[in-house]
Amino acid sequence: MFARLATVRVRPTLGFVTQLGIDLDDCIRFAGREGFDYVEVLMDGDNRRGSLAERAGDVRSSLAATDLDAAVHLPFPIDLGSPHDRQREGGVAELRACLDVAADLGAGTAVVHPTATAWDAAWDGDRLRPLVYDSLDRLADHAGPLGIELCAENIFGSVHTVAEMPALLEETTVSMTLDTGHARVSGYDEADTAAFVADHADRVRHVHLNDTRRPADEHLPFGAGTIDFEPILGAFPEGWDGSLSLEVGTRDLDYIGESKRRLETVLERVDAR
């Protein structure tokens, strides 16, 4: 998309998160036709780890045939901050196995939810977050040799909303997935989110473009909500080369195609600044 621009301020790759109810092969063919750079495979439902492992070679061949890269969204909720050791160890083991399959697909990015689901009457976030940090670092140690960048996502209503992410980035080696809709649910407007990007752009390597009309996790087509994405994307520094995933809750891929066209228009405005 950027070849036609005289100058390029930011250089992200563009993709979309696959959704339940849409065949992965259909998503790959569509992404190729529409000029996306990658697909972000949601590793759940029909694309859960075991199913993907059985057909990883075929999926990788389909990606290569359409000149696409892969990212993955690791399954959730998996409890990385459980105070119960065996539960937490089981979560880490499952996500390690998912990362192995992601590597078989050729994925370069893996999105993880840095969550804890312990009973809040017994455990508060201050006690659970260090357990999440440890789990994330262990997963990052596993992902690195596989050529995968692990990106922790801000999750509203959890121990790691966008407000807690600076501490996570300080305490771990992982990168970040910024979810714009989750930030809005957590009380961040566009100016707040843009300021966060400006402060942490070196660690925000992946973005979930989740549009909403209000502080709710709506996952609307890009531009159908009321989030002004221009100041958010414009807060990334010149030369930023992360990835932008359209995360649209739909079974109609045409909405994702239209979202890409609207996103490209916003990126052109950002570039013209």
Q: Are strands 149-153 and 175-179 parallel, antiparallel or unpaired?
A: parallel
Q: Would you state the pLDDT for residue 166?
A: 99
pLDDT of residue 273: 82
Question: Rounded distance, CA 194 to CA 151, Å?
Answer: 19
Mean pLDDT, to the nearest integer, of 91-112? 99
Q: Does the structure show a pLDDT above 70 at 2? A: no
Q: Are 10 and 240 in contact (CB under 8 A)?
A: yes
Whether residue 3 is predicted with pLDDT greater than 70 in this model: the reply is: no
pLDDT value at residue 8: 64
pLDDT of amino acid 9: 78
Give the residue-averaged pLDDT of 227-248: 98
Mean pLDDT of 90-109: 99
pLDDT at residue 268 greater than cutoff 50: yes
What span, in angstroms and rounded, lies between the C-alpha atoms of 208 and 53?
25
Quick one: pLDDT band at residue 5, thresholds 50, 70, 90?
A: very low
For residue 4, pLDDT over 70 is answered with no
Domains of the chain: residue spans and CATH: 2-271 (3.20.20.150)
For residue 225, the SS3 value is coil
Q: How far apart are CA 41 and CA 52, in angstroms?
A: 10
Whether residue 7 has pLDDT greater than 50: no
Degrees to nearest 5, angle at CA 238 with 185 and 3: 100
Helix ranges, the chain (H): 24-34, 49-54, 56-65, 85-105, 125-143, 165-171, 180-185, 190-200, 229-234, 253-271
| Mean pLDDT of all residues in 122-139 | 98
Q: What percent of the chain is predicted at pLDDT more than 90?
A: 95
Mean pLDDT for 224-241 is: 97
Residues 111 and 71: their CA atoms lie apart, in Å, by 8
Among 5-9, 42-46, 251-255, 260-264, where is mean pLDDT lowest? 5-9
Q: What is the pTM of this model?
A: 0.95
**What pLDDT sits at residue 102?**
99
Q: How much is the mean pLDDT over the chain?
A: 96
Which pLDDT does position 10 carry in this prediction?
Answer: 84
